[in-house]
Structure 1
């Protein structure tokens, strides 16, 4: 008995000593479902790397962006691993704010990363500056039972006209069923991600070839008018406060007939543990207006290492674990293949088990491959990016414009007033930044 107690005491001391010598990585991440799941599975990482402890800072999307941007720009050194989007990676890499990922291990297989996703994370020097945790485009998710009841058939490649007509037909406000849920919450990565991609399909663009803002053009008026009217007729109340997570909750509880948003949501809306409509969901490509561009974006949430970290080797081990093939197998084992983070690796889409478990796999891949960040609009543009403009000024400007458009959706200002304010904001910002005189 005494011997056993002594041994236990010795073991405890060893464990405590191990923790005392452990490096602690501080990881900033977004409160999306896939990241929450990753945190639950990190015992796998710490058991393989007992000398590394993890500390999580989990934030809502807009807050995360603000905190991480401030920290990296001021070289604050608060975080060792950052969750950042496709927008930030090339800009921050150029500024020297991110470390290139050159030591992810022999079995990491960089060449397996989907070319469309990898190219957005590669610097001008050809090095990878962030590793994709999940990649996405956007698509239509809809309730097959409501369509059947209304005598409607969703095409694989719908038009916006069809979507609007269907949304109005399947709305049943007495029973809290809204025909369509779309992002309304202000933010360059919230409502403006959706509205910029949608505006592309209506022939609009942020800037002409000379960087002149285009919110005073008829294409933007058509796009914003269409959106506000559709949401007033067929959207949920308080839509100007709804972003990705709020609309996900509405769809999962049976309150949305259609939701046009990130392809990554497909596994959440079809998961019977989380969604009351899991067996009733169909998928279609993001809509168009016949002008040759669909309203589907291209995005990845990625893990990157800030240049200010003192713990590069440990951070690289974590990034390799969280974005490698073994992590996909771990999620499949614990949660099922349908819940594996999508949109990053070619091998996943060649995996027969994944194809069988994920009815949305082909639509996701087709949507990712169809997005063209170098030619996002119907007319020529001087910028790269489908649902964002890849210039440093866009973060502030996109959110300011998003606030005007959220106000129009909430009925606080007219569509014309919102567009006029957006034009003035954009002209002022682009003049100040030296793009226009």
Structure 2
């Protein structure tokens, strides 16, 4: 058995070579050094460029800054880019950004590394924020191993299947209330070409642990596969993992969108909105954009739970949440922004200014009791809430897991592992290699992680 020091050394060397989440640790943690940081009455916020975040950026000056006097400097980047930038700044505790969008994957890891400020004291003091209103799955997913709260959700999501009701009706097809993946594949074949330029389904193929690997891993789970068994043995070469991957790759190659290997969330959202695809399996958060007032497909989309094979449910659990960097020079002002951006007040503002279907939902119980939201989001709000409630982050498959996570494995090394595996899967989707070849390489990558964790 390797000594603990050899394990640590090997892990850090691997992280350095790959440029992963852990890499900045090698240059040392130095609070407040190097970054320009924020100061005075301004804070710096680094966030992902999802549509609801962009809407927040537009509303901040007139509604938050005007009231509080706190200027917010936003840096908005695509998902893969924003993750890299956040990991560098927070790992080094550079303090350049006070607040960043972090998911329920990063927050427990960042908390353990002491890169985040405990938000518990703020929520206990700020009664108007109403922490008890945050949905329990979200609260739990943003809590560290020490029981302290390290994030507040901007929105929460699971995953479900979206489809064009009008196209299905015209083709004489019925979507099951709880479809299996085989039923979805059969339907994709039947609606492929139902309208000019329309494909049967859109599935992410873009490389990235948070891109193609998110939906694919939910398929793996329900097909009976897992990345690692309870003893940390890598299982990407198992029949179940291979069957799920082959199914996903074949489905998107036969009946999926053109350029699938370069299609992520944004591309699939555009495809469904523009009538280029009849179905899409992805995040529940997409429904707000599909049902927006100016959406060409508003009222035409049906929503059903994530397709299954061997499990009762298969939807993921995810939140883009606000994390407060421990080295922030303006933590109190940063909390004021976080509490506003995650508040009931902000949801009401979006409802009034943009439309209730665009509210960043999935985080508060009160949202689903609001009659205006329930009316405008009637097409999807019930399915969305049920998907979040049914998500099983500690038991997503058919066997025990060594770490939590549905669409990810909750360990720091997964950012690098998931990304490198995703590149192999994306290459298979593009037709540059076979699924067998992709998984053979992926298994060898995963076995390196097994060596680090065996015996723990």
2:353 paired with 1:353? no
**One of 378, 382, 393 as aligned partner of 1:362:** 382
Distance 2:159 2:276 in 1: 20
The answer on whether the counterparts of 2:171 and 2:194 sit within 8 Å (CA) in structure 1 is no
**One of 229, 244, 253 as aligned partner of 1:208:** 229
| Corresponding position of 2:247 | 226
Distance 1:48 1:103 in 2: 19
User: In the TM superposition, what whole-angstrom CA distance separates every residue of 1:376-400 from its partner, at most 9, and x where no partner exists?
Assistant: 1111211101101111111111111
User: In the TM superposition, what whole-angstrom CA distance separates every residue of 1:199-227 from its partner, at most 9, and x where no partner exists?
Assistant: 11111101011101101100011111111
* Larger of the two Rg values belongs to structure: 1
1:84 partner SS: strand
2:444 paired with 1:424? yes
**One of 38, 42, 49 as aligned partner of 1:31:** 49
Q: Give the Å deviation of 1:197.
A: 1.0
| Corresponding position of 1:181 | 202
User: In the TM superposition, what whole-angstrom CA distance separates every residue of 1:70-112 from its partner, at most 9, and x where no partner exists?
Assistant: 1111222221101010100111111111001121422000000
Mapping of 1:237-252 within 5 angstroms?
A: 237-252=258-273
2:313 paired with 1:286? no
| Corresponding position of 2:362 | 343
Aligned length: 414
Q: Give the Å deviation of 1:430.
A: 3.1
CA RMSD, 1 decimal: 1.5
**One of 290, 310, 315 as aligned partner of 2:334:** 315
**One of 391, 394, 401 as aligned partner of 1:381:** 401
User: In the TM superposition, what whole-angstrom CA distance separates every residue of 1:283-310 from its partner, at most 9, and x where no partner exists?
Assistant: 1000011x12433100000011011111
**One of 131, 150, 170 as aligned partner of 1:129:** 150
Distance 2:344 2:376 in 1: 18
2:85 paired with 1:64? no
The answer on whether the counterparts of 1:203 and 1:377 sit within 8 Å (CA) in structure 2 is yes
Mapping of 1:99-178 within 5 angstroms?
A: 99-101=117-119, 102-104=121-123, 105-172=126-193, 175-178=196-199
CA pair 435-73 structure 1, distance change in 2 beyond 3 A: farther
Q: Give the Å deviation of 1:272.
A: 3.7
Q: Give the Å deviation of 1:436.
A: 6.3
The answer on whether the counterparts of 1:199 and 1:295 sit within 8 Å (CA) in structure 2 is no
Distance 2:194 2:255 in 1: 8
**One of 55, 67, 71 as aligned partner of 1:53:** 71
The answer on whether the counterparts of 1:272 and 1:279 sit within 8 Å (CA) in structure 2 is no
CA pair 21-306 structure 1, distance change in 2 beyond 3 A: closer
Structure 2 alignment gaps of length 5 or more? 1-37
2:387 partner SS: helix
2:391 paired with 1:371? yes
User: In the TM superposition, what whole-angstrom CA distance separates every residue of 1:238-297 from its partner, at most 9, and x where no partner exists?
Assistant: 101011111101111011100000001001112241x222221111000011x1243310
1:134 partner SS: strand
2:177 partner SS: coil
2:325 partner SS: coil
**One of 36, 41, 58 as aligned partner of 2:59:** 41
Q: Give the Å deviation of 1:429.
A: 3.2
User: In the TM superposition, what whole-angstrom CA distance separates every residue of 1:19-77 from its partner, at most 9, and x where no partner exists?
Assistant: x9942211000010110000111020001111x21111000000000110111112222
Distance 1:53 1:311 in 2: 12
**One of 270, 279, 283 as aligned partner of 1:262:** 283
Mapping of 1:62-101 within 5 angstroms?
A: 62-101=80-119
The answer on whether the counterparts of 2:104 and 2:321 sit within 8 Å (CA) in structure 1 is yes
